[in-house]
Amino acid sequence: MRRTLLPILAFVAGLAALSIAAVVVLVPKAGEVAVSSVGGPFTLTDQDGKRVTERDFAGATHLVFFGFTHCPDVCPTTLQQIGDVLQALGPKGRDTKALFIAVDPERDTPAALKTYLASFDPRIVGLTGSPEEVNAAVKAYRAYVRKVPTKGDDYTMEHTALVYVMDGRNRFINALNLTRPPAEAAADLARMM
Ligand code: NI
């Protein structure tokens, strides 16, 4: 519970702070465009070794989720749930992508992601990169990631377990609530498409 809830709470608190800041501070000057504060540019490598940026996923509503292949429970559960929701979208979700951004690039190479994601819906795209590239994406999405040492020289990663719904212009629409039947989550997602 603690592992999953804290990052979400931190994220929600961050969002609340951001929206207050947006109201108070971000009065755009003439000619300036008010930009969404969640999401942003990234350059990463997909599970086939192809270099991609956020522009490759623009043009359609898509999902973004941060995680890592050594995650014992939250990531595999969420990836399964994302697959169920995509399935429940039916033909409407045929080309809908879900980005799984690796927060553990040390172990999550493109090849490791490819092997891992073979167990999940093929619309889930694995993305990884250098620590700097991953960090830039984490920052852009206001995500929370922390490396936590475990036994010996092993470690695990605490991370935001939020599923971001991004619009076709890479702007954050909402978080996808997966604590309900896939058909309900899919109906909600369909309204955001
Ligand atoms: Ni995880």
Pairing label, strands 124-128, 43-46: antiparallel
pTM of the model: 0.82
Q: How far apart are CA 193 and CA 173, in angstroms?
A: 10
pLDDT tens for the chain, 193 residues: list them.
Answer: 445 555 555 555 555 444 444 333 343 344 333 346 899 999 999 999 999 999 999 999 999 999 999 999 999 999 999 999 999 999 999 999 999 999 999 999 999 999 999 999 999 999 999 999 999 999 999 999 999 999 998 999 999 999 999 999 999 999 999 999 999 999 999 999 9
3: left (phi over 0), alpha (psi -120 to 50) or beta: alpha
- How many domains is the chain partitioned into structurally? 1
Q: Which domain holds residue 89?
A: 2-192
Strands lying side by side in the sheet with 172-175 = 51-53, 43-46, 124-128, 98-102, 62-67, 164-166, 172-175
Q: Ligand 1 centre from 66 Cα, in Å?
A: 8
Q: Ligand 1 centre from 72 Cα, in Å?
A: 7
Pairing label, strands 172-175, 164-166: antiparallel
Q: Ligand 1 centre from 35 Cα, in Å?
A: 29
CATH of the domain at 109: 3.40.30.10
Q: Ligand 1 centre from 74 Cα, in Å?
A: 5
CB 182 within 8 Å of CB 85: yes
CB 103 within 8 Å of CB 159: yes
